[in-house]
Structure formats: structure tokens, C-alpha cells
């Protein structure tokens, strides 16, 4: 049986991708060993599914359509740079969600509930709305990076419209990751 690596996410509009790409350019000045996210591939992951059988794609797509049909479009704003697990030993660098984070959390909870019915285990950690900017690969110039993270700020008052769920396939290649949309479930504009 053929398997594919998948996740469910929300796409970010080109204007915000450009702003975040500019922020990444600033953070790159630390010359630290970070695998930065390519601007064209920025998204908010709601659930990582991992390797699934290709035959499950339709079931997952149907579940996402069901959720989307009962979800009204909303907006979010991005703010604050953060790190996992903490600022002293960052492994992941991210931007948080300010306005709309509770709606995103509810949406992620609906996805967890629906996909559990299809045999996907529920996530045990609390959902934290964030957009990954980069992953630290080694301690090289880490001190420069942590210093820069305390000096740089990011706040965008302009809203990002959240109006669809996307099931992505993630294909790892030697040079990069390729994301392919497998299905899209559009939210209703009114309920």
C-alpha cells in the first residue's frame, strides 16, 4: 500500500508572506545554522498527519469539507516572535497569532475530533497557534540569534482572511520540501 506524508493547514496571503520573508532576512544576519522556511511555503499547520495511505485522502477531504461547511470565514493577525522549547535553547522560531487565535484553536479541535473518527490519534499537547519561520540545526552562532530575537519585533495589524482548509502532501527531496495541495475545503461566507 502506497503512503504519502500529509498535513492540514491554512495558507497565508502573499502580502504577509512578503513581510515574514523580510523578517527572516533580518534574522539571517545572525549567521546561525537555521533551516529557514521558504516564503512561498509559509502556512499555519493545524494538524500534522504524517505518513498516511493514499486511500485515506478522500475520507480526510470529506471530513474537512464537513468542518468547512459549518465554519464561517474569519480573520487573524500575527504578532510576537517566539521559540520552542524556550528562548535560551531555541529549536523552532515562530510568529504567534494575536487576533483570532481562539477561533484557530477551536478549528484545530474540530479537526482533531473529526479525524479521530477516521483513526488518527488526537494530539496530546495543547494547540498553540503559530507559523514556523525556521528550525535551528546546530549551536553555530546561536548566541547571535538569541540576541537578535530579543531585539527584533514583529506586529502586523493587517488581517489575514481565513477561509479554507487545505490538505497538503509534503514530499522531502535532497534540496527542499515540496508541498502539493491534495484538496481544499472552502468555508462558508455566511451562516
CB 49, CB 120: distance < 8 Å: yes
Q: What is the set of active-site residues?
A: 43, 130
State the average pLDDT over residues 149-154.
90
Percent helix, strand, coil in the chain, to 5, is 30, 35, 30
How far apart, in Å, are the Cα atoms of 20 and each of 14, 47, 65, 136, 148?
10, 22, 29, 17, 15
- Backbone CA torsion sign across 111, 115, 116, 117: positive
Which residues contact residue 173 at a Cβ distance below 8 angstroms, ignoring those fewer than 6 apart? Answer: none
CA 100 to chain centroid, in Å, comes to 15
Q: Is the pLDDT of residue 97 over 60?
A: yes
Interval 23-57: pLDDT, tens: 999 999 999 999 999 988 899 999 999 999 999 99
- Multiple choice CATH, 3-186, 3.40.190.10, 2.130.10.10, 3.90.1140.10, 3.40.640.10: 3.90.1140.10
Q: Is the pLDDT of residue 190 over 70?
A: no
Provide the pLDDT for residue 85.
Answer: 93
Instruction: Label residue 4 by pLDDT band (50, 70, 90).
Output: very high
Q: Is the pLDDT of residue 189 over 80?
A: no
Quick one: what percent of the chain has pLDDT higher than 90? 84
A 10 A CB-CB count for 186 gives: 13
State the average pLDDT over residues 123-151.
93
| Full-model pTM | 0.92
Burial group, residue 25, by CB count within 10 angstroms (0-12, 13-18, 19+):
exposed
Amino acid at each position: 500500500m502506497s503512503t504519502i506524508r500529509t498535513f492540514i493547514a491554512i495558507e497565508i496571503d502573499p502580502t504577509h508572506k512578503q513581510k515574514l520573508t523580510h523578517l527572516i532576512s533580518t534574522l539571517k544576519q545572525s549567521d546561525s545554522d537555521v533551516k529557514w522556511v521558504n516564503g512561498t511555503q509559509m502556512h499555519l499547520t493545524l494538524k500534522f498527519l504524517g505518513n498516511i495511505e493514499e486511500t485515506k485522502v478522500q475520507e480526510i477531504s470529506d471530513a474537512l469539507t464537513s468542518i468547512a461547511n459549518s465554519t464561517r470565514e474569519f480573520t487573524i493577525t500575527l504578532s510576537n516572535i517566539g521559540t520552542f522549547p524556550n528562548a535560551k535553547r531555541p529549536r523552532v522560531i515562530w510568529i504567534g497569532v494575536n487576533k483570532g487565535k481562539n477561533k484557530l484553536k477551536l478549528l484545530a479541535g474540530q479537526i482533531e475530533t473529526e479525524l479521530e473518527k477516521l483513526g488518527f490519534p488526537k494530539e496530546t499537547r495543547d494547540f498553540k497557534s503559530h507559523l514556523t519561520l525556521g528550525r535551528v540545526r546546530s549551536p553555530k552562532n546561536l548566541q547571535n540569534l538569541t540576541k537578535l530575537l530579543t531585539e527584533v519585533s514583529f506586529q502586523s495589524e493587517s488581517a489575514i482572511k481565513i477561509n479554507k482548509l487545505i490538505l497538503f502532501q509534503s514530499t522531502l527531496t535532497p534540496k527542499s520540501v515540496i508541498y502539493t495541495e491534495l484538496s481544499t475545503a472552502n468555508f462558508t461566507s455566511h451562516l
